[in-house]
Each structure stands twice: as C-alpha cells, then as structure tokens.
Amino acid sequence: MKNVNTNMNKYEKKIITVPNIISFIRLILIIIAANLLIKEDFINSFILYLIAVITDFLDGFLARGLKQISNLGKILDPLVDKLMIGSAIIILLYKSLMPAWYVIVVLGCSLINIIGGLIVIKKYNYVPSAILMGKIAAVSVMLTFLFNIAYSHTDLLIYVYTLSSFLLIISVCVYAYKIRNYILNNI
C-alpha cells in the first residue's frame, strides 16, 4: 500500500487549531439551536442555525487560508455538519414540518458517506477530505431546513426538497467514486 501521507503539513496531527475551535463553537450553537427548535422558538432557532451555517464556511475558509487543515478537522467538520442537519431534520419531522421521505434521503446519504469514510480510515489509514459536491449538497440541505423553518407552509418546499435530494444523491455517487479511485490506486 502506498503511503500518501508523506507530505503532512504541521497541522494534520494538531487538535487545537482555529478552524477546529470554530467547529466546536458550531457544535455548541447547534445544541442550543436544536433545543430552541424543540421549544418551537423558530426565530431564535433559525438565527442560531444560520450562524452555524456561516461558521461552517468560515472554518473551511480559515483551514485552507491559514493552512491549518488537520485530520481532526477533516472528521470534525463533516461530523458537526451532519449533527446540525440531523438534529434539525429529525426535530422538523417529529413536529410534522418535514416529510419523512426527505429525512430518509438525507439520513441515508449521510450514513453511506459515514460508513464509507470509516472503512477507508480503518482499512487504509486515509482520512478522505470533503468534496465540492458534498459541500454543495450539505449547503442545499442546510438551506432547505432554514427555508423550511422560515416558510413551513409554502407549496415551494416540494421543489426545494426535490432539488436537495438530487444534489445529495449526486454527492454520494461522487464521494463513492473518489473512495473507489483511492482504493484502486493504493492497493
């Protein structure tokens, strides 16, 4: 097996980096926002989720800009994204504000990505980085649940759900292709 991690930057093994601190702050925001969503404080929940979405972009921008990309960050950032999305859509489903089929698509795609990533980490000692299509799909889900909170009673939501689902499915296919290529090139 080839070792692709020979050119590690000095931050790959670090835990305390600016982007990781922002991801931890985002996690706290998500816990508070989910609590507010459960209590049906939609305005404050929306604001905190929106701040969490903005900090998601900020931590990725800073990780690349400051060259502080770490293995922890490669795991933490998408994990916090999935917790943000998962908490919101499950609460909205529970409150009958989001259709079950959409929640199944989102959770199914997330589960496939998590399992695929864990297999590659365990078997090949390789931490896959996020892909652009995955970020686009994640943003579509984040915007979908923000739109859902803000406009829960509009007929446009079916189109928003459909577009987001389409982007999620494409994202899973692209991620699987990336992992497949890594495995084929490193066995």
Between 124 and 44, the higher pLDDT residue: 44
Check residue 100 and give its pLDDT. Answer: 95
Highest mean pLDDT among 9-23, 31-45, 67-81: 31-45
What tens digit of pLDDT does each residue of 139-151 get? 898 888 888 878 7
In this predicted structure, the answer to whether residue 99 has a pLDDT above a threshold of 60 is yes
CATH number at residue 115: 1.20.120.1760
Which domain covers residue 43, as residue numbers? 4-185
Cβ neighbours for 63, distance < 8 A, ≥ 6 positions apart: 17, 19, 69, 70, 73, 77
Q: How many domains does the chain have?
A: 1
Whole-model pTM: value is 0.76
Check residue 67 and give its pLDDT. Answer: 82
Residues shown for the chain: 187
In this predicted structure, the answer to whether residue 14 has a pLDDT above a threshold of 50 is yes
DSSP 88: H
What tens digit of pLDDT does each residue of 16-40 get? 888 888 999 999 999 999 999 999 9
Band of pLDDT at residue 86, cut at 50, 70 and 90: confident
Q: Which of 159, 178, 106 is nearest to 137 (CA)?
A: 106
Between 149 and 1, the higher pLDDT residue: 149
Structure tokens given for 177:
């292709």
Give the sign of the dihedral formed by CA 69, CA 74, CA 75, CA 80: positive
What tens digit of pLDDT does each residue of 107-129 get? 999 889 888 888 888 888 887 77
